[in-house]
Amino acid sequence: MNKPVRHPDRHFIPPSLAERFQPAVEEGVFESVGEAVFVAAEAFADRLEFGVTDDVEAIRLSIEKTIEEDDYQDAEVVFAELRERFGGGED
Protein backbone atom coordinates (compact mmCIF):
# COMPACT_ATOMS: atom_id res chain seq x y z
CA MET A 1 0.00 0.00 0.00
CA ASN A 2 1.34 3.45 -0.90
CA LYS A 3 1.88 5.91 1.88
CA PRO A 4 1.27 9.63 1.33
CA VAL A 5 4.36 11.62 0.42
CA ARG A 6 5.13 14.51 2.74
CA HIS A 7 7.53 17.42 2.40
CA PRO A 8 11.08 16.45 3.54
CA ASP A 9 11.13 19.08 6.31
CA ARG A 10 8.24 17.24 7.93
CA HIS A 11 9.99 13.88 7.95
CA PHE A 12 12.16 12.73 10.77
CA ILE A 13 15.70 11.97 9.75
CA PRO A 14 18.28 10.73 12.23
CA PRO A 15 20.28 13.57 13.79
CA SER A 16 23.52 11.99 12.56
CA LEU A 17 22.25 12.24 8.97
CA ALA A 18 21.01 15.81 9.45
CA GLU A 19 24.45 16.76 10.79
CA ARG A 20 26.06 15.54 7.57
CA PHE A 21 23.93 17.99 5.56
CA GLN A 22 24.32 20.92 7.96
CA PRO A 23 27.67 22.22 6.60
CA ALA A 24 26.14 22.52 3.11
CA VAL A 25 23.20 24.45 4.62
CA GLU A 26 25.57 26.78 6.50
CA GLU A 27 27.57 27.38 3.29
CA GLY A 28 24.36 28.33 1.46
CA VAL A 29 24.32 25.34 -0.87
CA PHE A 30 20.88 24.42 0.47
CA GLU A 31 18.28 26.50 2.30
CA SER A 32 17.55 23.72 4.78
CA VAL A 33 18.38 20.15 5.66
CA GLY A 34 14.99 19.23 4.21
CA GLU A 35 15.93 20.74 0.86
CA ALA A 36 19.21 18.79 0.87
CA VAL A 37 17.34 15.56 1.61
CA PHE A 38 14.85 16.33 -1.18
CA VAL A 39 17.66 16.93 -3.71
CA ALA A 40 19.42 13.73 -2.67
CA ALA A 41 16.18 11.74 -2.90
CA GLU A 42 15.47 13.16 -6.38
CA ALA A 43 18.95 12.15 -7.56
CA PHE A 44 18.47 8.66 -6.15
CA ALA A 45 15.02 8.41 -7.76
CA ASP A 46 16.53 9.39 -11.15
CA ARG A 47 19.11 6.64 -10.78
CA LEU A 48 16.39 4.10 -10.01
CA GLU A 49 14.06 5.31 -12.78
CA PHE A 50 16.69 5.16 -15.49
CA GLY A 51 18.60 2.14 -14.18
CA VAL A 52 21.98 3.85 -14.09
CA THR A 53 24.61 4.32 -11.40
CA ASP A 54 26.29 7.35 -12.94
CA ASP A 55 24.87 10.68 -11.70
CA VAL A 56 25.77 12.52 -14.89
CA GLU A 57 23.98 9.93 -17.02
CA ALA A 58 20.94 10.04 -14.72
CA ILE A 59 20.82 13.84 -15.01
CA ARG A 60 21.20 13.68 -18.79
CA LEU A 61 18.36 11.17 -19.09
CA SER A 62 16.17 13.18 -16.72
CA ILE A 63 16.72 16.35 -18.77
CA GLU A 64 16.04 14.47 -21.98
CA LYS A 65 12.75 13.12 -20.59
CA THR A 66 11.75 16.58 -19.33
CA ILE A 67 12.33 18.07 -22.78
CA GLU A 68 10.36 15.26 -24.46
CA GLU A 69 7.45 15.88 -22.08
CA ASP A 70 7.69 19.67 -22.56
CA ASP A 71 7.92 20.00 -18.76
CA TYR A 72 10.52 22.71 -18.28
CA GLN A 73 10.94 26.44 -17.76
CA ASP A 74 12.56 28.79 -20.24
CA ALA A 75 16.20 29.55 -19.35
CA GLU A 76 15.56 33.30 -19.11
CA VAL A 77 12.87 32.67 -16.48
CA VAL A 78 15.20 30.42 -14.50
CA PHE A 79 18.08 32.92 -14.63
CA ALA A 80 15.79 35.78 -13.60
CA GLU A 81 14.61 33.75 -10.60
CA LEU A 82 18.20 32.92 -9.66
CA ARG A 83 19.25 36.58 -9.91
CA GLU A 84 16.29 37.55 -7.74
CA ARG A 85 17.08 34.83 -5.20
CA PHE A 86 20.85 35.25 -5.03
CA GLY A 87 21.47 38.69 -6.51
CA GLY A 88 24.22 39.15 -9.02
CA GLY A 89 24.97 40.82 -12.29
CA GLU A 90 23.68 40.34 -15.76
CA ASP A 91 24.58 37.32 -17.88
Angle between helices 33-50 and 15-26 (to 10 degrees): 100
pLDDT of residue 5: 52
Amino acid at 74: D
Domain layout of the chain by residue ranges: 13-86
pLDDT at site 19: 92
**What is the chain's pLDDT, residue by residue, as a tens digit (91 residues)?**
445 455 555 557 888 988 999 999 999 999 999 899 888 998 899 889 989 888 889 888 988 988 889 877 888 888 898 899 888 765 5
Distance from C-alpha of 38 to C-alpha of 29, rounded to nearest angstrom: 13
Q: Tell me, what's the pLDDT at 9?
A: 53
Q: pTM to 2 decimals? A: 0.56
